[in-house]
Amino acid sequence: MKNQIKILREAKNMTQNELAEQSGLSLRTVQRVEAGGMLKGFTLKAIAQALDTHPEHLIDQPKEQENINRAKIINLSILSGMIIPFGGVIFPLILTYQTKDSNNKELGKSMVCIQIILATVFSASLIISPFIQKFFSWKFPLFIILIMMFLFVKILIIISNGISLNKKHDIHIKLKTNFL
């Protein structure tokens, strides 16, 4: 990590030249590493030893877990659709378009596309349910079954995608092509 090496070096009141001497590396190598050059192998060990730290502290830690947390929040925001009509589309869409990371944006778009299709099918089935109920002369309100099925499917999708985000850093249920 370019800034981490510089921070540790300056905390020890060392110049780049002193770090080069103590690590056995050239001044040019120290400058290159502090400027963001690749840090691995012998160079990593030599600089870590000269700065009295572990090599792991000098390497950029992957931000994948941090990035995937945004996708998890988008996935959980779909639950708002159980309280607010079309909230399962609106809130995840807002969070998706506020996201700067392209990977999270694509994951969010995939989740929102599924929710748009689900909301459309649910709305259409609620509209035609009274006609189906009347046609078959059913006494039990059909819309209650539809609401229960909708909630079950929505929760199943959220749980399935949440598990997949934790394990594979990708969602399980998605369309082949996004329309957003």
Instruction: Choose the final residue of a domain: 41, 58, 75.
Output: 58
- The domain total for the chain is 2
Residue 108 sits in the same domain as residue 140: yes
Question: Among residues 4, 105, 99, 111, which one has the least CA distance to residue 48?
Answer: 4
pLDDT digits (tens, 9 = 90+) for 89-124: 999 999 999 988 888 899 999 999 999 999 999 999
CATH no. for residue 33?
1.10.260.40
Residue 133 within any structural domain of the chain: yes
pTM (predicted TM-score): 0.62
Residue 80 sits in the same domain as residue 119: yes
Query: Please, are residues 96 and 73 in contact by the beta-carbon 8 Å criterion?
Result: no
Question: Among residues 166, 163, 174, 156, which one has the least CA distance to residue 68?
Answer: 166
Residue 22 sits in the same domain as residue 79: no
Mean local confidence (pLDDT), 124-138? 93
Q: From the CB of residue 45, how many other CB atoms can be counted at a distance below 10 Å?
A: 13
Residue 53 sits in the same domain as residue 69: no
